[in-house]
């Protein structure tokens, strides 16, 4: 499980926790999130995220 | 071929270049910045301390790497003195620079409220990564921090510092937290949760004097109250940087005036971000910048594209009591309706046709901002529970 961070606003996506409030179940891998998904805090596209250390 | 020149290496400047490069790898771009050109997340300045991040830890990508990734010429530590619009040239501390088109993304300066006292100059603002580095240095050995301003940044700072064990006082002349964004019933939700982590609120007053004493400062408030503190931070708002544009004869108001194409009164000059006033509105938040950057990149690549803003809720990063708000204009006609209130509030602003045009979600409701955004412009179902106290506010 990895942790990803939005390069724009610092929002963190933790694969272990998912984003249940957005319908993304805990344990959902980054690769399995739809391409049209956007950062809930600042709206940047998935392609603009960057991985940070676990 | 003369380059597109971008002034400013903040989120606005870098985003418009990043978006442009998705459309065109070849068009020459020069970025001029008085800073180092390192790319960092500005929104994190007000919540980085609790995450244990120092200034270097906030840098997401170093300047040289940004320049290489984006294929641009980067002029760092470079001041722009003037724009010569007739000859399409800039006068800079690194010499003359010709532009084909110019993008102004210079951001905003913190507003400073004048205070009296022998330590008035010790009041800090935290508007960029260098300020943040200074703040981390200044906070060494301090136990109590005072924040002037109970708006979005003031509340975020208060939460961030209180979480890490500091006592924090917030002083604001308004009546309650986040007063410019939401009605009283919603703003007041922050009072108890932040007080519980060590925030001491002072509303309806302001700082009159800051005087030095041993190991810190004595503050005197307009209502006569005196406070002993170790550090004073001012977070009372931002003023768009318009001086360069104004001196060049561009139309300015609060910000640099641009149309929906981000175009100023000079067709070769564009502006976006915190320095810009787009169709009469200054919107110093991340989401408007991202939308403006995408539209402007298309226009710069040859496909004229107006920016269209969707609903853009603002998230206040106060983990002690999270808040998401879609503010309404000060003169909007309608009223706030309370729709739920346990561990926070859910409030909707209904216009004359009973359609929702704004909302505030606090506490456990904050996570519902996407569902609420989807219901914008529609009448809402009747509130399920029995009428709540204060529902007509």
Q: How confident is the model at residue B393 (pLDDT cuts 50, 70, 90)?
A: very low
What tokens appear for B24 in the block?
Answer: 């065109």
Give the residue from chain B lying closest to A44, CA to CA: B290
Q: Average pLDDT for residues B225-249, to the nearest whole number?
A: 97
Distance of alpha carbon A16 from alpha carbon A35, whole angstroms: 19
Question: pTM of this prediction?
Answer: 0.90
Q: Looking at the partner chain, which of A10, A22, A40 has a beta carbon nearest the beta carbon of B41?
A: A10
3-state DSSP assignment of residue B96? strand
B199 or B330, higher pLDDT? B199
Q: How confident is the model at residue B30 (pLDDT cuts 50, 70, 90)?
A: very high
Question: Which of A24-28, B239-243, B367-371 is the least confident region?
Answer: B367-371
Q: How confident is the model at residue B391 (pLDDT cuts 50, 70, 90)?
A: very low
Distances (CA, A) of B299 to A22, B58, B76, B101, B339: 33, 31, 26, 11, 42
B79 or A13, higher pLDDT? B79
Distance of alpha carbon B222 from alpha carbon B171, whole angstroms: 10
The yes-or-no verdict on residue B384 having pLDDT over 80 is no
- Which of B273, B287, B312 to mutate to test binding with chain A, by most A CBs within 10 Å of its CB? B287
Q: Do B370 and A22 touch (CB under 8 A)?
A: yes
Distance of alpha carbon B337 from alpha carbon B327, whole angstroms: 14
Quick check: B44 contacting A, CB < 8 Å? yes
pLDDT on residue B392: 43
Residue with tokens 């009283």: B184
Distance of alpha carbon B303 from alpha carbon A28, whole angstroms: 38
| Start-end of H helices in B229-308 | 243-247, 286-300
- Which of A5, A7, A24 to mutate to test binding with chain B, by most B CBs within 10 Å of its CB? A7
pLDDT on residue B389: 52
pLDDT on residue A53: 59
| Average pLDDT taken over every residue of chain B | 94
β-strand B4-7 against B101-104: which pairing, if any? parallel
Burial class (CB in 10 A: 0-12, 13-18, 19+), A29: exposed
B297 or A36, higher pLDDT? B297
Q: Are B161 and B49 in contact (CB under 8 A)?
A: yes
Distance of alpha carbon B156 from alpha carbon B49, whole angstroms: 11
Question: Which of A11-25, B58-72, B300-314 is the least confident region?
Answer: A11-25
Give the residue from chain A lying closest to B313, CA to CA: A41
Residues β-bridged to residue B219: B210, B227
Which residues of A make CB contacts under 8 Å with B? 5-10, 21-22, 40-44, 48, 50
Chain A CB contacts of B47 below 8 Å? 10
Q: Do A42 and B286 touch (CB under 8 A)?
A: yes
Q: Average pLDDT for residues B359-363, to the nearest whole number?
A: 97
pLDDT on residue B390: 47
The closest of B257, B255, B5, B233 to B126, measured between CA atoms, is B233
Q: Are A39 and A9 in contact (CB under 8 A)?
A: yes
B118 or A48, higher pLDDT? B118
The yes-or-no verdict on residue B312 having pLDDT over 90 is no
Q: What are phi and psi of B134, to 5 degrees?
A: -65, -40
What tokens appear for B285 in the block?
Answer: 């938040």
What tokens appear for B191 in the block?
Answer: 């009072």
Q: Which residues contact B65 (CB under 8 A, 6 or more apart)?
A: none
How far does A8 lie from chain B, in Å, by closest CA?
Answer: 6
* Angle B355-B361-B365 from CA coordinates, rounded to 5°: 115
Give the residue from chain B lying closest to A6, CA to CA: B41
- Answer positive or negative: Cα dihedral of B170, B172, B177, B180: negative
Q: Are B296 and B308 in contact (CB under 8 A)?
A: no
Distance of alpha carbon B188 from alpha carbon B335, whole angstroms: 18
- Please compute, for residue B178, the number of CA atoms within 13 A of its CA located in the half-sphere on the CB side: 31
Q: Do B287 and A42 touch (CB under 8 A)?
A: yes
The closest of B305, B255, B244 to B284, measured between CA atoms, is B255
Quick check: B355 contacting A, CB < 8 Å? no
DSSP B236: S
Q: Average pLDDT for residues B278-300, to the nearest whole number?
A: 94
Residues β-bridged to residue B240: B108
Q: Which residues contact B384 (CB under 8 A, 6 or more apart)?
A: none
Q: For residue B331, how many other CB atoms are within 10 A of its CB?
A: 5
> Could you tell me the end-to-end alpha-carbon distance of chain B, in angstroms, rounded to an integer?
60
Could you tell me where the beta strands, DSSP code E, fall in B215-351?
216-221, 226-229, 231-234, 238-240, 256-258, 269-271, 276-278, 314-316, 323-326, 335-340, 346-350
How far does B137 lie from chain A, in Å, by closest CA?
Answer: 23
At B170-221, the pLDDT tens digits run 999 999 999 999 999 999 999 999 999 999 999 999 999 999 999 899 999 9
Quick check: B305 contacting A, CB < 8 Å? no
Q: Are B31 and B9 in contact (CB under 8 A)?
A: yes
Q: Average pLDDT for residues B278-288, to the nearest whole number?
A: 92
Chain B CB contacts of A6 below 8 Å? 41
At A4-24, the pLDDT tens digits run 888 777 788 899 999 887 789
Quick check: B264 contacting A, CB < 8 Å? no
pLDDT on residue B385: 53
How many H-runs (helices) and E-runs (strands) does chain B carry? 10, 26
The yes-or-no verdict on residue B100 having pLDDT over 80 is yes
DSSP B343: S
The yes-or-no verdict on residue B387 having pLDDT over 70 is no
pLDDT on residue B388: 52
What's the longest Cα–Cα distance across chain A? 24
Q: How confident is the model at residue B322 (pLDDT cuts 50, 70, 90)?
A: very high
At B7-22, the pLDDT tens digits run 999 999 999 999 999 9
Q: Do B367 and A7 touch (CB under 8 A)?
A: no
């Amino acid at each position: 499980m990895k942790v990803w961070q939005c390069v724009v606003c610092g929002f963190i996506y933790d694969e272990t926790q998912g984003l249940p409030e957005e319908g993304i179940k805990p344990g959902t891998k980054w690769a399995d999130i739809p391409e049209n998904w956007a950062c809930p805090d600042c709206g940047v596209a998935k392609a603009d995220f960057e991985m940070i250390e676990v | 071929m003369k380059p597109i020149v971008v002034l400013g290496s903040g989120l606005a400047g870098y985003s418009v270049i990043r978006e442009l490069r998705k459309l065109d790898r070849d068009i020459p771009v020069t970025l001029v910045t008085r800073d180092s050109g390192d790319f960092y997340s500005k929104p994190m300045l007000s919540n980085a301390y609790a995450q244990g991040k120092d200034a270097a830890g906030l840098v997401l990508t170093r300047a040289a790497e940004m320049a290489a990734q984006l294929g641009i010429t980067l002029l760092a530590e470079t001041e722009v003195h003037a724009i010569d619009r007739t000859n399409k040239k800039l006068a800079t501390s690194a010499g003359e620079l010709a532009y084909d088109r110019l993008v102004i993304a210079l951001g905003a300066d913190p507003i400073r409220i004048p205070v009296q006292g022998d330590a008035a100059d010790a009041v800090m603002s935290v508007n960029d990564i260098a300020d943040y580095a200074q703040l981390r240095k200044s906070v060494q050995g301090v136990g109590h921090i005072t924040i002037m301003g109970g708006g979005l940044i003031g509340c975020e700072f208060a939460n961030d510092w209180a979480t890490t064990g500091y006592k924090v006082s917030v002083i604001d002349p308004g009546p309650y937290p986040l007063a410019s964004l939401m009605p009283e019933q919603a703003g007041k939700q922050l009072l108890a949760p932040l007080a519980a982590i060590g925030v001491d609120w002072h509303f309806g007053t302001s700082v009159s004097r800051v005087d030095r004493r041993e190991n810190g400062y004595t503050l005197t408030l307009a209502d006569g109250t005196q406070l002993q503190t170790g550090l004073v931070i001012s977070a009372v708002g931002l003023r768009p940087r318009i001086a360069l544009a104004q001196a060049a004869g561009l139309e300015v108001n609060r910000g640099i005036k641009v149309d929906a194409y981000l175009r100023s009164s000079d067709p070769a000059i564009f502006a976006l971000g915190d320095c810009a006033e787009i169709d009469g509105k200054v919107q110093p938040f991340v989401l408007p910048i991202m939308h403006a950057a995408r539209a402007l990149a298309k226009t710069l690549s040859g496909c004229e594209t107006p920016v269209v803003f969707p609903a853009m809720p603002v998230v206040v990063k106060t983990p002690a009591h999270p808040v998401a708000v879609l503010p309404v204009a000060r003169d909007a006609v309608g009223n706030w309706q309370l729709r739920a209130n346990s561990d926070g509030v859910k409030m909707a602003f209904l216009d004359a046709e009973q359609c929702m045009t704004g909302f505030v979600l606090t506490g456990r409701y904050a996570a519902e901002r996407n569902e609420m955004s989807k219901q914008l412009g529609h009448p809402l179902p009747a509130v399920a529970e029995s009428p709540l106290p204060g529902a007509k506010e």
